[in-house]
Structure 1
Amino acid sequence: MDFDAFLALVPKIIEAKLPDDVSHQKMAPLERMEIMKNLDLEKANPRKAAVMMLFYPKNKKAHLVSYHKEYLSRRTLVSNRIPRR
């Protein structure tokens, strides 16, 4: 994709609503769904997490820095935890 066209799309991407809970529910095992129904998030105090993606222009095209790590025999994007305060 042309990098300038990519930059024009970034504001729309930022404003987009992500399908968080709905997607998790579709993919989660049934056992986990039962646990989640009974989970009190106030008591559990889960950590927030984020994934950072770095896009850069190369020959006027958008490229993504690809950094993977091996985790349980799967290649995954590295996520960065936000420390608790």
Structure 2
Amino acid sequence: MFTLRKTYFPYVSPFDPCPPITCKEYVTPPNLYINFQPQGLQQFHPKEALRTGTLWPFFYDPYFNHHELKLREGQSDA
């Protein structure tokens, strides 16, 4: 199984003049995890494909920064 959102913990120097960001994250594109496009992949409806920018849901990757993700997760719990 793969995840599109990765995190890492950079070195924090005791001499940093600013408060450090202890956990950083980055996003990898979904096409890194597929060698070739298999036949019969599920497809979006044409209007949805135009809105998302891809015909195949597997390759759809909306970008949300970590603040937006926390807001969206909070709204889904309510």
Smaller-chain TM-score range?
Answer: under 0.3
Query: What TM-score results when the alignment is normalised by the length of structure 1?
Result: 0.21
The structure richer in strand per residue is: 1
Query: What TM-score results when the alignment is normalised by the length of structure 2?
Result: 0.22
The structure richer in helix per residue is: 1
